[in-house]
Structure 1
């Protein structure tokens, strides 16, 4: 998908970020990263800024980057509506070529994004590059178990219907055609690229994985 295609999906992605299931995952991911107090936080593929808003009262500075100019407009508007404009900065850019200096952020996040990239490992390396030593990397990725049938069964078991079900099934469909992840492979990739203390936390009954890691302190 190119930036223009994402421009047309702002309403869908904003609604998806506010679903019970993805909103709950965002809450869990925020909790797993610990306090953002006085920290500089980056969200790669920030969409409409909903994840960053969770730490707006803590963080020193929140930065979102997205390929879509319309997503960036929506993020800016959401921060304005929540009276948090001074805390947020949003820029148009490529996850595989981040326009930030080395070791610029204390926390780097990415949810529902890396699996869309042609070369996800390049995006991961860029996130690691801009992290300060000792900084935290946090990602949400679909697991190898994710597919439309498993997602449908999850929705059925948990009484998820309507738009919430549609959003999950679309995520499942795209991830099946793009990239899904195994925890052990992610661990090896992150350790090879200078991270440590890698932990994985299954969500959606194992259909997706939250991964947390620390950049090695030299």
Structure 2
């Protein structure tokens, strides 16, 4: 993977982050990650920074990393427009080799990213490494049930139309070509990396899941 393949997709991903279905998931994911009050928060694969903006008034500092330089530019712009640039840092970085010391963050997040990696376990290991003991990592990933047919049926059942449907179907299509884990598989991986507890919450009717681990 390289960032250039995502550079031309900034507008698409920013619009996807504002769909009703992904906005709802982001809100739930933030709740599941615990309090951000006074916290150092990291988003791996931050896209255009929309998820981090949800906690900008609570967190001590928000850090986003992405493989795409254009996504980083868009994140900086979004925080500038919200007059919160002083509370944020956005860096071009690889999820396999995060440029942070061990135990740097209270909350580490990753949405729609880890499943894309050729070797997700390497990214998960890094995510655990940079999270403080007692801190949380929270992720959104497609489940083993995610595929284009099931996503299409879900969109029909919930009256998801237009771009919102297109974005969901594109995510489902990519998912079938990458990694999809069961709850048990993710639990085993995360506990093997040192997580003390792992929980999962199904979203999108079981097509995806929010996973939260305490380190």
- TM-score by length of structure 2 reads 0.99
Q: Distance in 2 between matches of 1:197 and 1:120?
A: 19
> How far has the Cα of 1:126 moved from its partner?
0.2
> How far has the Cα of 1:143 moved from its partner?
0.1
4+ residue stretches of structure 1 with deviation over 2 A?
Answer: none
> How far has the Cα of 1:111 moved from its partner?
0.2
1:4-63: per-residue Cα shift (whole Å, max 9, x none)? 110000000000000000010000000111210110000000000000000000000100
Which runs of 5 or more structure 2 residues have no equivalent in the other structure? none
Q: Distance in 2 between matches of 1:189 and 1:4?
A: 30
* Residue of structure 1 equivalent to 2:177: 177
* Residue of structure 2 equivalent to 1:201: 201
Q: How does 1:120-139 map to 2 (within 5 A)?
A: 120-139=120-139
* Residue of structure 2 equivalent to 1:21: 21
* Residue of structure 2 equivalent to 1:79: 79
Q: Distance in 2 between matches of 1:46 and 1:62?
A: 11
Q: Distance in 2 between matches of 1:35 and 1:102?
A: 21
* Residue of structure 2 equivalent to 1:164: 164
Q: How many residues in Structure 1 have an aligned counterpart in Structure 2? A: 215
Secondary structure of the structure 2 residue equivalent to 1:155? helix
Q: How does 1:85-100 map to 2 (within 5 A)?
A: 85-100=85-100
Secondary structure of the structure 1 residue equivalent to 2:125? helix
Q: Distance in 2 between matches of 1:57 and 1:34?
A: 15
CA root-mean-square deviation? 0.6
* Residue of structure 1 equivalent to 2:108: 108
Instruction: Answer yes or no: is the 8 Å Cα contact 2:34–2:136 preserved in 1.
Output: no
Q: How does 1:26-65 map to 2 (within 5 A)?
A: 26-65=26-65
> How far has the Cα of 1:2 moved from its partner?
2.4
Q: Distance in 2 between matches of 1:53 and 1:98?
A: 21
- TM-score by length of structure 1 reads 0.98
Secondary structure of the structure 2 residue equivalent to 1:195? coil
Secondary structure of the structure 2 residue equivalent to 1:159? coil
